[in-house]
Amino acid sequence: MSSTMLDFDELYRHSDDPWRLREGWYELRKRALTLALLPRPRYRNAFEPGCANGELTAELAARCDALLAVDLHARAVELARERVARASNVRLEQRKVPREWPTEHGPFDLIVISEFAYYLEAAELEALAARIAGSLTMDGTLLACHWRRPFAEARVSADRAHALFDARCAVARVAHHDEADLLIDVWSRDARSVAQREGLL
């Protein structure tokens, strides 16, 4: 992944928001869909690897008692730290996931894999799935959200990454959003629907 790392470093040197996460309608809408698909209003302890400049982190923070967000790139972590400076429940770290998995901060009742899994080689993706399976609480939620169009840096498609999570993470799918550009899946160890959780059924 060294060439990808160098490309990302170059991107961050030229902009603090290279993917227009802050203002692009695609990104704003994607975050709204991501947050809406979470089956619970609040989580105790969440983990977001690949947090980039912290736009999703800031919104997840409002739904979590504690949130650990990490990124491989020092500049991304710095920008994310600035973005969530007022959120005392967020911890930002520079880590290479899945190799530097934050076992000491788990288990997690929410893990969000957003625009991250397709950068991993096959063995790393398998390791990521195993780490997720070993780190979710008994009522834990896994959300994966990825761009579906092919691009040069992708090692695997969004569909293949999500299929691997479905097969390896010992969770039941509770939500699925599928469109030409975007794939979002939510799995949980609590397979009840939102209405069932709320006692409506």
Distance CA 167, CA 177 (A): 18
The answer on pLDDT for 105 being more than 70 is: yes
**Band of residue 15 on the pLDDT scale cut at 50, 70, 90:** low
Strand partners, 141: 110, 188
Domain count, the chain: 1
CATH number of the domain at 122, please. Answer: 3.40.50.150
Measured between alpha carbons, how far is 122 from 120 in angstroms, rounded to an integer?
A: 6
Task: Give the pLDDT band of residue 7 (cuts 50, 70, 90).
Answer: low
Give residue for tokens 């005392």: 88
pLDDT in tens, 165-201: 999 999 999 999 999 999 999 999 999 999 999 999 9
φ and ψ of 3, to 5 deg: -65, -40
Residue 110 has pLDDT above 90, yes or no: yes
How far, in Å, CA of 76 to CA of 199, rounded? Answer: 41
**Residue 143 lies in domain:** 2-197
pLDDT of 3: 39
